[in-house]
Structure 1
Amino acid sequence: MNSDSLHLVCPHCQAINRVPTSRLDQQPNCGQCHRALFTGQPVELTGTTFARHLERNDIPLLVDFWAPWCGPCKTMAPAFVQVAAMLEPQFRLAKVNTDTEQSLGAQYHIRSIPTLILFRGGREAARQAGATTAQDIARWVRSH
């Protein structure tokens, strides 16, 4: 990567796109599937797609580790969607269902849900457990 462009993984087809930094705010599309690289929605990740987004995106990745039976997770879900619209394209927001992706939950030592982990450069930069508001999530992310 050079400072004039970023690699971004398409949330739809998983293709890696090189996007000039000057075009980030211009709603860039994927060069392969031609769909929007940013949708204002968190991306649902699996074990396979998680690794690709973690390793190949040049923007920070914020992941919500959650489960469908979790009350606080359900409460925080709309706030996480709201934050996606606020933080894109500077951040990629994603969700990992720890019931279906148990190996990811174990790999990242998820002990309570929801847990937010902010990754920068493929490494964990910050972690926060518990449900919170969209404004608090955005403030927390920007502080790290």
Structure 2
Amino acid sequence: MAQGLVLPCASCGQKNRIPPGRLGDRARCGKCQQTVHEPGAVVAIDRDDELQSLLQGADVPVLIDFWAPWCGPCRAVAPEVAKVSARHASDVLVLKVNTDVDPTVGQRHGIQSIPTMALFRGGSEVARTSGSRPASAIEQWMTQALAR
């Protein structure tokens, strides 16, 4: 079992560990005291190495929304993904990965269309879906995938 989740501080870059069971709590950077993670907030990840670290260190399932700013359906699904994140603040980590920032992310995960959502548990992908959909449909898909 992992020893928590390590999130980089957006302000100073310091890596901060969030202990297991505390994902639903607000986390502050140990160095600069800025907020590292708000409960229920979607975490934006820009680099493949950060993503791989989060996937390997997560004690909870991880939902990744692969997107790009020029993609209309990606922008349409963003508020729905945020609703899912807020509703599952303590039991699922929701990440947003802009595939234009670091193309190796999309290549590593075989992203051929966006928006694509992938669900990971224990560092391994358990399900994938593409397209825009309401929060209720995302939650239903996620629940079914995690029940397998």
Shorter-chain TM-score: what band? 0.7 to 0.9
Q: Which runs of 5+ in 2 are unaligned?
A: none
CA positional deviation for 1:28: 5.5
| 1: CA distance, partners of 2:15 / 2:27 | 12
The answer on whether the counterparts of 2:23 and 2:39 sit within 8 Å (CA) in structure 1 is: no
Secondary structure of residue in 2 paired with 1:128: strand
CA positional deviation for 1:140: 1.2
TM-score, with structure 1 as normaliser: 0.83
Corresponding residue of 1:43: 43
CA distances 1:27-73 after superposition (whole Å, capped 9, x unpaired) = 25358356464432211112221111111111111000001111110
Corresponding residue of 2:57: 56
Corresponding residue of 1:32: 30
Paired amino acid for 1:132: R
Corresponding residue of 2:4: 7
Secondary structure of residue in 2 paired with 1:72: helix
Distance 1:111 1:97, change over 3 A: same
Percent identical: 36
The answer on whether the counterparts of 2:83 and 2:135 sit within 8 Å (CA) in structure 1 is: yes
Distance 1:17 1:78, change over 3 A: closer
Give aligned pairs, total. Answer: 138
Corresponding residue of 1:67: 68
The answer on whether the counterparts of 1:60 and 1:118 sit within 8 Å (CA) in structure 2 is: yes
Distance 1:117 1:24, change over 3 A: closer
RMSD (Å) for aligned C-alpha atoms: 2.2
| 2: CA distance, partners of 1:7 / 1:123 | 17
Q: Which runs of 5+ in 1 are unaligned?
A: none
TM-score, with structure 2 as normaliser: 0.81
Matched ranges for 1:1-144 at <5 A: 1=1, 7-10=4-7, 12=9, 13-19=14-20, 21=21, 27=25, 29=27, 32=30, 35=35, 37-45=37-45, 46-144=47-145
| 1: CA distance, partners of 2:8 / 2:94 | 10
The answer on whether the counterparts of 2:29 and 2:36 sit within 8 Å (CA) in structure 1 is: no
